[in-house]
């Protein structure tokens, strides 16, 4: 009987080792990390995600066509997925040019009612290219990007007064390393997610601060759930909104969470091997020319964007 028990234990340990080896076999074979790049696009968001197998996703595209040159400089020739987190032009302004240049396979956006002539032009380009469009639903949905898993949060009820609260939330999992992206979500939307899908929020090592580090984009309850090891803020130099706000900086400091900012570091690059993450040296050289950068960090005019219904509360 003791021999049988001992044999069963040895077999179980052998099977466990085989499972673990198989789990990491593909990663060791490619020899490449997953890469998360928070692009310096001025006062806006644009995050490039690259899987070890070479699959690519772009979440948001800043305000201008500059993002196309940045992607080319990073060696991007095609995109598998593009995402518009919500219908504000500092997130989708450069997406039309991205789609024209890189012809992505999938387009993820919300179907919320807030719209502008610029956003309608983007949707027409998506339709004309025959790109498959997908939307968040009332349940979480998963998208495989090579060995990375993107989980799209359930979509809360529409907030017709504040488009920021219609942002798409995405958790990116690379083995034991997770990245959390929630657009410009304010307290109302974040509280809904906390009540509805707290497990998607918990324990993400890398947090992209919502709403460019605004005081309404981060709170103590959120940090208690996420428990980030590093935070990233996508902001423009000298932006009119004062992002990131002092309240957010103080809160992060009280939690001893280091912050990387695109206005100070340029493009912020983080690599993951599925077990650990590391921050790469800053890429300030990827910044736009100073004059162009200055123009894009000013508060956009409604008349110029033809966006009479867009909320400009920051």
Average pLDDT over residues 49-78: 96
Pairing of strands 230-233, 206-208: parallel
Q: What percent of the chain has pLDDT over 70?
A: 80
- Tokens, residue 285: 């050289």
Query: Mean pLDDT for the chain?
Result: 85
Residue 310 has pLDDT above 60, yes or no: no
Q: Which position has the higher pLDDT, 207 or 10?
A: 207
Q: Which position has the higher pLDDT, 289 or 48?
A: 48
Average pLDDT over residues 52-75: 96
pLDDT at 239: 92
Average pLDDT over residues 115-131: 96
Tens digits of residue pLDDT in 164-175? 999 999 999 999
Residue 305 has pLDDT above 90, yes or no: no
Domains observed in the chain: 31-301 (3.60.15.10)
d(Cα 40, Cα 299) in Å, to the nearest integer? Answer: 17
Residue 108 has pLDDT above 90, yes or no: yes
Residue 179 has pLDDT above 80, yes or no: yes
pTM value is 0.82
Residue 103 has pLDDT above 90, yes or no: yes
Tens digits of residue pLDDT in 141-159? 999 999 999 999 999 999 9
Average pLDDT over residues 304-308: 36
Q: Which residues contact 218 (CB under 8 A, 6 or more apart)?
A: 209, 210, 248, 251, 252
Residue 261 has pLDDT above 80, yes or no: yes
If pLDDT is split at 50, 70 and 90, which confidence band does 283 have? Answer: low
Is residue 163 classed exposed, middle or buried when 0-12, 13-18 and 19+ CB atoms within 10 A define those classes?
buried
Please name the residue ranges forming H helices in the chain.
Answer: 2-30, 66-73, 89-92, 95-102, 117-128, 187-196, 220-226, 246-254, 262-265, 290-297, 302-305
Average pLDDT over residues 291-298: 40
Residue 290 has pLDDT above 70, yes or no: no
d(Cα 180, Cα 78) in Å, to the nearest integer? Answer: 24
Counting every residue written for the chain, the total comes to: 314
Is residue 83 classed exposed, middle or buried when 0-12, 13-18 and 19+ CB atoms within 10 A define those classes?
buried
Average pLDDT over residues 185-213: 97
Average pLDDT over residues 292-312: 37
Residue 244 has pLDDT above 80, yes or no: yes
Residue 14 has pLDDT above 90, yes or no: no
Q: Which position has the higher pLDDT, 124 or 12?
A: 124
């Amino acid at each position: 009987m003791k021999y049988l028990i001992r044999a069963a234990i040895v077999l179980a340990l052998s099977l466990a080792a085989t499972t673990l080896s198989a789990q990491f076999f593909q990663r060791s074979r490619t020899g490449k990390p997953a890469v998360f790049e928070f692009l310096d696009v001025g006062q806006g968001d644009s995050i490039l995600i690259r899987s070890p197998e070479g699959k690519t996703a772009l979440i948001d595209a800043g305000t201008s066509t500059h993002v196309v040159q940045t992607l080319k400089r990073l060696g991007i020739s095609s995109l598998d997925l593009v995402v518009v987190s919500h219908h504000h032009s500092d997130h989708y302004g450069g997406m039309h040019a991205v789609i024209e240049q890189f012809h992505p396979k999938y387009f993820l956006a919300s179907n919320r009612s807030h719209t502008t002539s610029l956003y309608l032009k983007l949707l027409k380009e998506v339709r004309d290219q025959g790109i498959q469009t997908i939307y968040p639903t009332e349940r979480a949905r998963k998208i495989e990007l090579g060995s990375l898993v993107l989980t799209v949060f359930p979509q809360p009820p529409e907030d017709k007064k504040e488009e920021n609260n219609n942002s798409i939330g995405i958790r990116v999992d690379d083995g034991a390393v997770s990245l959390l992206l929630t657009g410009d979500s304010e307290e109302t939307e974040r509280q809904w997610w906390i009540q509805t899908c707290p497990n998607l929020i918990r324990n993400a090592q890398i947090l992209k601060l919502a709403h460019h580090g605004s005081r309404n984009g981060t709170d103590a309850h959120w940090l208690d759930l996420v428990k980030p090891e590093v935070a990233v803020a996508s902001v423009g130099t000298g932006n009119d909104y004062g992002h990131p706000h002092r309240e957010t900086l103080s809160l992060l400091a009280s939690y001893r969470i280091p912050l990387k900012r695109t206005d100070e570091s340029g493009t912020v690059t983080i690599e993951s091997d599925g077990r650990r993450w590391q921050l790469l040296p800053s890429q300030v050289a990827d910044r736009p020319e100073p004059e162009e950068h200055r123009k894009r960090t000013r508060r956009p005019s409604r008349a110029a964007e033809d966006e009479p219904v867009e909320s400009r509360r920051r």
